[in-house]
Amino acid sequence: MSGSILTGPVDADTVEALAARLDTAQTSRTDTPSLADTHDFGVDEAYAIQAALLARREARGERIVGVKLGFTSKAKMAQMGVSDVIVGRLTDAMRVTDGDDVDLSRFIHPKVEPEVAYRLCRDVDLADPTTDIESCVDAVAPALEIIDSRYRDFRFTYSDVVADNTSAAAFAIGPWRPVRDVSNRAVRMVGSGAAEVVGSTAAVLGDPVRALHALVDMCRRRGIPLRAGQVVLAGAATAAVPLTGGVTCCDVAGLGTVSVRGVRDVRGVR
Ligand code: 0L1
Ligand code: MG
DSSP secondary structure string, 87-131? EEEEEGGGEE-TT-EEEGGG-SS-EEEEEEEEEESS---TT-TT-
Is the pLDDT score of 6 beyond 60? no
Measured in Å, residue 4 CA sits from the centre of ligand 2 at 32
List, in order of start, the domains of the chain with CATH numbers.
63-268 (3.90.850.10)
Is the pLDDT score of 3 beyond 70? no
Angle at 180 between CA 175 and CA 182, to 5 degrees: 75
Three-class secondary structure of residue 151 per DSSP? strand
**pLDDT at site 10:** 83
Is the pLDDT score of 115 beyond 80? yes
d(CA 156, CA 80): 10
- Band (pLDDT 50/70/90 cuts) for residue 9 is low
**pLDDT at site 193:** 64
Is the pLDDT score of 17 beyond 70? yes
Please report, rounded to a whole number, the percentage of residues in the chain having pLDDT higher than 70. 94
Measured in Å, residue 234 CA sits from the centre of ligand 2 at 7
Measured in Å, residue 12 CA sits from the centre of ligand 1 at 26
Which residue's alpha carbon is nearest to atom 9 within ligand 1?
167
Measured in Å, residue 81 CA sits from the centre of ligand 2 at 18
The minimum-distance atom of ligand 1 relative to the CA of 71 is 3
The minimum-distance atom of ligand 1 relative to the CA of 149 is 9
Tens of pLDDT along 239-263?
Answer: 899 999 999 999 999 999 999 999 9
Is the pLDDT score of 152 beyond 70? yes
The minimum-distance atom of ligand 1 relative to the CA of 68 is 1
Computed over every residue of the chain, the mean pLDDT equals: 92
Which residue's alpha carbon is nearest to atom 1 within ligand 1?
70
Of the candidate ranges 151-155, 188-192, 204-208, 211-215, the one whose mean pLDDT is the lowest:
188-192
Measured in Å, residue 129 CA sits from the centre of ligand 2 at 27
Tens of pLDDT along 209-237?
Answer: 999 999 999 999 999 999 999 999 999 99
Measured in Å, residue 157 CA sits from the centre of ligand 2 at 17
| Closest by Cα among 249, 70, 245 to 143 | 249
d(CA 164, CA 150): 7
**pLDDT at site 204:** 95
Check if 70 has its Cβ closer than 6 Å to any atom of ligand 1: yes
Check if 160 has its Cβ closer than 6 Å to any atom of ligand 1: no
Tens of pLDDT along 53-86?
Answer: 999 999 999 999 999 999 998 877 777 777 889 9
For the segment 35-59, the average pLDDT, to the nearest whole number, is 95
Check if 159 has its Cβ closer than 6 Å to any atom of ligand 1: no
Check if 166 has its Cβ closer than 6 Å to any atom of ligand 1: yes
**pLDDT at site 267:** 56
Measured in Å, residue 5 CA sits from the centre of ligand 2 at 31
Check if 108 has its Cβ closer than 6 Å to any atom of ligand 1: no
Which residue's alpha carbon is nearest to atom 4 within ligand 1?
70
Strands (E), the chain: 64-70, 86-91, 95-96, 101-103, 111-120, 137-147, 168-173, 186-191, 194-200, 231-236, 241-242, 246-252, 256-263
